[in-house]
Amino acid sequence: MRKLALSDEILMTIEKPARYIGGEVNSVMKEADDVDIRFLMCFPDVYEVGMSHLGIQILYDMLNKREDTWCERAYSPWPDLDKVMREKNIKLFGLESQESADHFDFIGITLQYEMCYTNILQMIDLSGISVYQKDRKNDDPIVIVGGPCAYNPEPIADFIDIVYIGEGETVYGSLIELYKKHQGKDYDRNSFLREAAKIPGLYVPSLYDVEYNDDKTIASFEPKYDDVPRTVLKQVVTDFSKTTYPEKPVVPFIKTIQDRAVLEIMRGCIRGCRFCQAGAIYRPTREKNLEDLKRYAIEMIENTGYEEISLSSLSSSDFTKLPELLDFLIEEMGKRKVNISLPSLRIDAFSLDVMSKVQDIKKTSLTFAPEAGSQKQRDVINKGLTRDIILKGARDAFIGGWTKVKLYFMLGQPFETYEDIEEIAKLSEAISEEFFDAVPKDQRKGMVEVGASASFFVPKPFTPFQWAPMDTMESFTNKAHFVKDKFREQLNKKRLKFSYHAADVSLLEGILARGDRRLAPAIYEVYKNGGIFDAWGEYYSHERWMEAFEKYGIDISFYLTRERADDEIFPWDFIDAGVTKRFLLNEWKNAKKGIVTPNCREKCSGCGAARFGSGVCFKNET
pLDDT of residue 2: 84
pTM for the whole structure? 0.96
- Helices and strands, counts by H and E, the chain: 20, 19
pLDDT profile of the chain (622 residues), mean per 10: 92 98 97 97 98 96 98 98 98 98 98 96 98 97 97 98 97 97 91 98 98 98 97 96 94 94 96 96 96 97 95 92 93 92 72 70 73 97 94 90 92 98 98 95 90 97 98 96 97 96 95 98 98 96 98 97 97 98 98 96 95 84 46
- Of how many residues is the chain composed? 622
Distance CA 559, CA 516 (A): 9
Q: Judge contact between 208 and 228, C-beta under 8 A.
A: yes
Quote the pLDDT of residue 446. 86
CB 513 within 8 A of CB 152: yes
Which pLDDT does position 344 carry in this prediction? 64
The stretches of 127-221 forming alpha helices (DSSP H) are: 172-182, 189-196
How far apart (Å, rounded) are the C-alpha atoms in residues 602 and 335?
A: 38
State residue 361's pLDDT score: 46
Show the domains of the chain with their CATH numbers: 8-233 (3.40.50.280), 239-360+574-622 (3.30.750.210), 362-514 (3.30.750.200)
Distance CA 262, CA 55 (A): 11
Q: Which segments of 285-417 does DSSP mark as H helices, in order?
A: 290-304, 322-335, 349-358, 375-380, 387-399
